Chain A
Amino acid sequence: MKWRNPKTLATLLLATTLLIGGCSGNNNKPENTGNTGNTGTNSGNEEAADTSPVTFTFFGADASPNWNNMQDDVGKYITEKTGVTIEAEYDVGAGGGENKLALMAASGDVPDFIFAKGSLSSLVDAGLIIDLAPLIEEHAPNIKKIFSENMNRLKYSNEDQAIYQIVTNGGVDQQYFDAGGGFEIQQRVLKELGYPEVRTVEDFENVLREYVKLHPETDGQPTIPLTLNADDWRIMISVTNPAFLATGAPDDGEYYVNPETYEAMLHYKRPEEKEYFRWLNKMYNEGLLDKDTFVQKDDQYKAKIASGRVLGLIDQEWGYQDAENALKTAGKDEYTYAHFPVTLTEEYQDKSFQPAGVDGYGIAITTEAKDPVRLIKFLDWLASDEGQVLRNWGIEGKHYTVDANGQRVIPAEIQDRKVNDASNFQKETGIGQYRIFSAHYGDGVKDSTGNYYTTNFPEQIVAGYTEAEKETLAAYNATTWKDLFPSEADLPAKDWGALYNMPVPTDGDYQVTFQKTQDIIRKRIPEAVLTKPENFDKVYDDFLAELDKAGAKEMEAEYTELVKARVALFTGKEVK
């Protein structure tokens, strides 16, 4: 009796360990990843859509605070129609997902599908992403239709012409009706100063200086003339990218590409940009640039904007949207921001709207996906007219109605909530929440019923503005912010697409050098801005020398080759 218990216990323990050992043994075996597209052939003939409940896991590299686990109206409808539930995880904080995705690439532990942004190539190199080309060919007529002649642009590279992602962060055939970038100034500032012309950084600076002199305090707290967001990768959006935008160059990530020779160089090396940073330096030394700029975190930045005491920003609207929404919810419309295509001097032209063609971040399916065919069919359903309208407009009868002329109309009270209570509205309805999940047409494209696919068309955009915004726009003789910017019609599409999306070699020295230059940039640019004006030249020149010392020249040469190969892939041009 005495021995009975320990014996059973010991046997039990042993059995457990064997079990655990057995399991881990199985897990360790790398799954054979051959079942990419071929599985499709068997299930291709069963045409009736499968709507049995299924759950797909997902990771999104951008933070998505309004994600409601598909318990929103659109989400429920999607599940009802397709049987699919998306179990999503998003990156937190400033987002970007690099760390999380690097771990995924290392461990092979990936969800069924991924919005990987710039980290896609590390997953591809780890053999974790499947080629979508055969799946699209067989099961995704809608996706095929959307990309049609642009299918070439989905291909990964010249050497590896597989399709690893469906571009979803940008709409196809997108026409821009509204501008969300440039330099921003609060409506109240413009109103009080009588809507002055804001064309150059000098104008911008004068407006801020004048207003802060008149109102050194906002709601009892000190007014901040200008603040920027330098938390982690946001430094690129708010501090370094504006340097090329304000000096007439388009967005090619960290590089500037010469449109004639396709030579690439780190954009910081352009002499014009040095002048831009000199201007920031001056702003700082005059006390116009917030002293917290390079110290504050993303949430502190947004909190400041939400308090209404920041007069000017240099950022993209999506970067401070949450804070602006808070202002709108609080009824402080006059604290929201107007957008201007400000450049260093009048000789430059803002190239924010230079089209890159179809190219961008997108959705990728991993080797872990249990049923890639079902998944691609789901993505294809989302890309259908029904799916696109659902994702953009919501549910008929609830979020929009169709009038006697067959036009989709958003009822006034819905539109009001959409503008003034945006976060809660998105959380409840799910409208806008499913944009990145599948391919879609851009703004300005009409469906078979003659309606626009998206809710962003000129009339709707104007309806989306607050009264304060409309007032400002009227004062500048414009209907949308876009009207103030140089139009894409005057700017030729870039042959090399969106370079931030071009896969770069993960082997060899390129990545290391790039990382090193990034470290230098993120350290030296703040230093240059914060230094005394008489030191600026020295700090900036040392910075450029340091880049070359870290191997920037060789890196640029390697990048130039990649750009040329890409131009050849996209356009079929012969590039030497």
Chain B
Amino acid sequence: METLPTKASDHESVAPTPQKKRERGVWKTLVQQKYLYLMSLPFIIWLFVFNYLPVWGWTMAFQNYKPAKSFGEQKWVGLENFIDLFQDERFYLVLRNTLAMSVMGIIAGFVVPIAFAIFLNELRGKFFKRTVQTVSYLPHFVSWVVVGGIVTKMLSIEGGIVNELLLWLGVINEPIQFMAKGEWFWGIVTGADVWKETGWNAIIYLAAIAGIDKEMYEAARVDGAGRFRQMWSITLPSIRTTISVLLIMSIGHLIGIGFEKQFQLQNSLVTDYSEVLDLYALNYGIGISRFSYGTAISIFTSVISIFLLLTANGVMKKLTKESIM
């Protein structure tokens, strides 16, 4: 943090380029567009201060960091924190949980909202459509603390609606303790997530669908396409760009899924399935004042995220010629 002034001055001094002519060209555009540059400057500084300067904190991962000491007094430990991390069995367990839940989340989080948006779009009654849409995205504004309570209550063996329903239908003979079954935890989290976010995620697809040229549908109808044919051959391809951009971005977030849901829904019986990376970082990192260890975990997540993002981007570029970079 102390390096703020020096870093800022580095930033201002632009290295001179050897080619005189080119330089004059660059300089000329710079002068010409000085107001544009000036206007963008605050945002560049903002980005630098809030997104690049904190990277300096990564040095903590190579120290035995103690908050009370200044930078010079910290003890350097090299890669010790990373070695500890990769040697901990628990780390692989939480990595598995994180990946499992985020992959399930991505699949459900794409298929369901897209299907929902397409079907909602086919509805005729405007009032009904609006109402359904509003109702469906309301859960997005409910915090996970509350959702956690609702889900636990719904799945409870005592008066929980799910068990009552299953009993009434005769599917089961006695109530199932859903929250005590570790292997079901991933599914419960994904289900809760779908319930909470489907409506919200569908908004962007609905907006994309609204932008599709109506003439295409008319032409398709003239050619004899039914409604499902229209959905498949016109609506879906038209929102493909939106889908792939969102997909690339969410793959970038694959490993950093946060921990609110898991934290709210877990209990001591399912920790082997519920603990995710961020929760692990909290419990074994800052929770017990191991700031350096926590930082090492965060470096690991960042590196993997960048790698995933670039890979997804590259693959998409190859397959569909669409990319975000």
**B5 x A515 contact (CB < 8 A):** no
Assess whether A98 is interfacial by the CB under 8 Å rule: yes
Specify which chain A residues have a CB less than 8 angstroms from the CB of B35 in the assembled complex: 3, 6-7, 10
Contact among A21, A126, A294 for B267, CB-based, below 8 A: A294
Say yes or no: A291 contacts B5, CB within 8 Å.
Answer: no
A17-B41 contact given A106-B67, A125-B66, A526-B269, CB 8 Å threshold: yes
Asked whether B42 is an interface residue with its Cβ less than 8 Å from the other chain, the reply is yes
B158 touches A14 (CB 8 A): no
**Interface residue ranges of B40-55 to A (CB < 8 Å):** 41-42, 45-46, 49
Say whether B46 contacts A297, CB under 8 Å: no
Q: How many A-B residue pairs have CB under 8 A?
A: 131
Q: Say yes or no for A35: interface residue by CB 8 A criterion.
A: no
Which residue of A7, A20, A297 is within 8 Å of B152 (Cβ)? A297
Which label, helix, strand, loop or mixed, suits the secondary structure of the B interface? helix
- Chain A interface, >50% SS class: helix
**B291 close to chain A: CB less than 8 A:** yes
**Could you tell me the distance in whole angstroms from the C-beta of B288 to the nearest C-beta in chain A?**
4
B76 to chain A minimum Cβ distance, whole angstroms, is 15
| A126 touching B67, Cβ below 8 Å | yes
In Å, the complex CA distance between A6 and B290 comes to 49
8 Å CB contacts to B: which residues of A367-388? none
Contact (Cβ within 8 A) A17 B42:
yes
Known: A6-B39, A13-B39, A105-B289. A526 touches B4 (CB 8 A): no
Instruction: Type the 1/0 row for B145-164, where 1 means its CB is closer than 8 Å to any CB of A.
Output: 10011001100111000000
In the complex, chain B residues whose CB is within 8 Å of the CB of A93: 145
Residues from chain B with a CB closer than 8 A to the CB of A21 are 4, 8, 45, 49
A-contacting residues, B232-290, CB 8 Å: 267-269, 271-272, 282-284, 286-290
Query: Quick check: A105 and B288 within 8 Å, CB to CB?
Result: no
**Using an 8 Å CB-CB cutoff, how does the interface string of A22-42 with B read, 1 for contact, 0 for none?**
001100111000000000000
Q: Are B156 and A294 in contact (CB under 8 A)?
A: no
Q: How far is the CA of A526 from the CA of B41 in the complex (A)?
A: 58
A295 adjacent to B179 (CB under 8 Å): yes
Q: Which residues of B contact A523 (CB under 8 A)?
A: 268-269, 271-272
* Interface presence of B223 (CB below 8 A): no
CA distance A93 to B5 in the complex (A): 43
* A25 and B45 form a contact (CB under 8 A): no
- Nearest CB on A from B56, distance (A): 11
**B291 lies within 8 A of A300 (CB):** no
Q: Which residue of A lies closest to B267 (CB)?
A: A295
Question: Any chain A CB within 8 A of the CB of B12?
Answer: no
B284: contacting residue among A13, A28, A515, CB under 8 A:
A515
A127-B67, A292-B156 given; A506·B288 CB < 8 A: yes
A300 to B151, CA, bound (A): 12
Instruction: Indicate if A253 sits at the interface (CB-CB under 8 A).
Output: no
Nearest-Cβ distance from residue A314 to partner chain B, whole angstroms: 17
> A102 an interface residue at 8 Å Cβ cutoff?
yes
- List, in ascending order, chain A residues with CB within 8 A of B66's CB: 125-126, 507
Nearest neighbor of A514 in chain B, beta-carbon distance: B288
Q: How many residues of B contact A (CB 8 A)?
A: 44
B286, A25: Cβ atoms closer than 8 Å? no
Is B2 an interface residue when CB atoms closer than 8 A count as contact? yes
Give chain B residues whose Cβ lies under 8 Å from the Cβ of A126. 66-68, 289
Contact between B269 and A295, CB atoms less than 8 A apart: yes
CA gap between A167 and B193 in the complex, in Å:
44
B4-A14 in contact (CB<8A): no
Q: Given the complex of chains A and B, what is the CA–CA distance between A14 and B149 in angstroms?
A: 47
Q: Which residue on A lies nearest to B5, using beta carbons?
A: A25
Known A99-B282, A106-B291, A511-B290; contact A297-B149, beta-carbon cutoff 8 A: yes
When A3-B35, A127-B67 are in contact, do A527 and B269 touch as well, CB less than 8 Å? yes
Instruction: Determine if B158 and A292 form an interchain contact, defined as CB atoms under 8 angstroms apart.
Output: yes
Report the separation of the CA atoms of residues A169 and B23 in the bound assembly, to the nearest whole angstrom.
71
Is B70 located at the chain interface by the 8 A CB criterion? yes
A103-B286, A294-B267, A512-B288 in contact; A16/B1 too (CB < 8 A)?
no
Is A486 in contact with chain B by the CB < 8 A criterion?
A: no
Cβ-based interface call for A404 (8 A):
no
Q: In this assembly, does A163 line the interface, its C-beta being within 8 Å of a C-beta of chain B?
A: no
Indicate if B319 sits at the interface (CB-CB under 8 A): no
Q: B287 near A99 (CB under 8 angstroms)?
A: yes
**Which of B153, B157, B283, B289 has the most CB atoms of chain A within a 10 A radius of its CB?**
B289
Choose among A222, A506, A527 the residue that contacts B158 (Cβ–Cβ < 8 A). Answer: A222
CB of A108 within 8 Å of the partner chain:
yes
Chain B neighbourhood of A17, CB < 8 A: 41-42, 45-46
Q: Which chain B residues lie closer than 8 Å to A507 at the CB level? A: 64, 66
Does A230 interact with chain B (Cβ within 8 Å)? Answer: yes
Question: Which residues in window 1-26 of B have CB below 8 A to A?
Answer: 1-2, 4-5, 8
Q: In whole angstroms, what is the CA distance A239 to B177 when docked? A: 20
A 479-517 binary contact with B (CB < 8 Å = 1; else 0)? 000000000000000000000000000110001101110
Task: Provide the bound-state CA to CA distance between A128 and B45, in Å.
Answer: 31
Residues from chain A with a CB closer than 8 A to the CB of B145 are 93
Give Cα A348 to B179, complex, Å: 37
Let me know if A30 and B70 touch, CB within 8 A: yes
Question: When chains A and B are docked, how far (Å) is the Cα of A341 from the Cα of B29?
Answer: 86
Q: Does B172 contact A (CB under 8 A)?
A: no
User: Is the CB–CB distance between A14 and B180 below 8 Å?
Assistant: no
B303 interface residue (CB < 8 Å to A): no
Chain A positions 97 through 118: 1 when the CB is less than 8 Å from some CB of chain B, otherwise 0: 0110011011010000000000
Q: List 11 extra interface pairs beyond A21-B8, A126-B66, A511-B289, CB under 8 A.
A: A7-B35, A14-B41, A28-B4, A93-B145, A230-B267, A231-B267, A300-B152, A506-B289, A512-B284, A512-B288, A519-B271
Q: List 8 A-B contacts (CB under 8 A).
A: A10-B38, A13-B38, A20-B49, A28-B1, A294-B269, A295-B152, A297-B148, A519-B283
| 9 A-B pairs with the lowest CB-CB distances in the bound complex, closest first | A127-B68, A126-B67, A511-B288, A10-B38, A28-B1, A17-B42, A506-B289, A13-B42, A295-B179
